[in-house]
Structure 1
Amino acid sequence: MHVREILDSHSQAPADSQPILIRCIEACFDCAQTCTSCADASTAEESVRDLAQSIRTCSDCAGICVATGQAASRQTGDNTEVLGTQLQTCMTACGVCAAECEKHAAHHEHHRICGEVCRACEAACRSLIAALP
């Protein structure tokens, strides 16, 4: 991704929390893609009916991660309260999705991977919340 280059050229991007911000933005978009792929892979499994909850949590998490990555990418003006709430929502979605994927990780590699990526995104959001003014 080119997040770093864009933020380096952005006149209003915060220099002090930039590495944490970049990590979070990248984690959100990575998680969104991973959750989308995991949900899709689940629809191809023979046990697809047993994976309905996983498909739902992955799909919800993907959408929330995209919205969070977009909100975190916007640096002009200030909307810290909304960003903080969105990051908290993303942490919740990632935690729920990770827990659901972890239930199926022993049988499906895509669930193991998705669970790990969700936990990483959850941690990145937590770090950015801690760095907010």
Structure 2
Amino acid sequence: MTKALAMLESHPADLGGVDPEAIAAAIQECLTCAQACTACADACLAESDPAAMRDCIRTDLDCADVCEVTVRILSRRGDALGVTRQLLAVCEQACRACAEECERHAEHHRHCAECAEACRSCEDACQQLRQHLG
């Protein structure tokens, strides 16, 4: 059991029928993606021509920020499911954009390949949770 799942299940408020494992999976994927994107941006800055990686760096940092906000919202109980759904959709879009950008560099930069993989996993987890929320 992940700490995210343990925290969700230990909360005294009801989840309103939402599967805590789906929420915990999205939280974990968002955390992993945020870390991967932050590390990828840093690795891009260490490349021989960081200016050529500018779009990748910006997309990485945008995705990391969106993932971190998504974790915070998913970790709290709230009645604004519409906001949560919209945030999950935004997170999917940020992850998709970052994955696409990183995939452009993946052949030459392993950190971009790793980041793209994390982004795709996060995109999938957010999509699954959003569909579960209705």
Match of 1:32 among 31, 34, 56: 34
1:83 aligns with 2:84: yes
What corresponds to 2:122 in structure 1?
121
CA–CA separation in structure 2 for the residues paired with 1:64 and 1:16: 22
Structure 1 window deviating more from structure 2 (98-107 vs 6-15): it is 6-15
Give the letter aligned to residue 107 of structure 1. H
Mind listing any 5+ residue stretches in structure 2 that lack a counterpart? none
CA–CA separation in structure 1 for the residues paired with 2:72 and 2:14: 14
- Once the two structures are superposed, what CA deviation does each residue of 1:18-54 show, in whole Å capped at 9, x if it has no partner? 1111000111111111100000000000021110000
Superposition map of 1:97-112 within 5 A: 97-112=98-113
Q: CA RMSD in A?
A: 1.2
Secondary structure at the aligned position of 1:12 is classed as coil
Mind listing any 5+ residue stretches in structure 1 that lack a counterpart? none
Superposition map of 1:3-82 within 5 A: 3-14=4-15, 16-75=18-77, 77-82=78-83
CA–CA separation in structure 2 for the residues paired with 1:49 and 1:16: 44
- The 8 Å contact of residues 18 and 133 in structure 2, kept in 1 or not, is answered as no
CA–CA separation in structure 2 for the residues paired with 1:45 and 1:94: 22
CA–CA separation in structure 1 for the residues paired with 2:14 and 2:60: 31
**How many residue pairs end up in the alignment?**
132
Secondary structure at the aligned position of 2:107 is classed as coil
CA–CA separation in structure 1 for the residues paired with 2:122 and 2:14: 21
**Could you tell me the percent identity over the aligned residues?**
40
What corresponds to 1:2 in structure 2?
3
TM-score (norm 1): 0.94
TM-score (norm 2): 0.94
CA deviation after TM superposition for structure 1 residue 16, in Å: 4.8
Give the letter aligned to residue 56 of structure 1. R
Give the letter aligned to residue 32 of structure 2. D
